[in-house]
Amino acid sequence: MELEAPDFLDESLAPEVDEGLLRSLIRQELPEKVARALYRLICSFASWHHAHTKLLLEELKVSRKAADH
């Protein structure tokens, strides 16, 4: 079975990406209600999805470097 990701919504409807909030989400520093709202934005808009992916990769690199030292 092959699953296809749904299309993203029109970017003109997207709020401006807030990287600070996304970093807090990745670090699990937000209340559940806020986290759920952010996940809806990540799933709905390409800009939020791409920013979240970029920040996840950055956080992974930082955590790997810390683990190596």
In a domain, 6, yes or no: no
In a domain, 11, yes or no: no
In a domain, 43, yes or no: yes
* pLDDT for residue 48: 98
Q: 14 — phi, psi (to 5°)?
A: -80, 135
In a domain, 15, yes or no: no
In a domain, 5, yes or no: no
pTM of the model: 0.85
Is the confidence at residue 69, as pLDDT, over 80? no
Q: How big is the CA angle at 8 (ends 43 and 22), to the nearest 5 degrees?
A: 35
In a domain, 53, yes or no: yes
CA distances from 62 to 7, 31, 33, 54 (A): 31, 24, 27, 13
Could you tell me the residue range of the domain that residue 50 belongs to? 21-68
Check residue 45 and report its DSSP letter: -
CA distances from 68 to 23, 26, 58, 65 (A): 22, 21, 16, 5
- Total number of domains constituting the chain: 1
pLDDT confidence of 11, banded at 50, 70, 90?
Answer: very high
* pLDDT > 90 in the chain, percent: 80
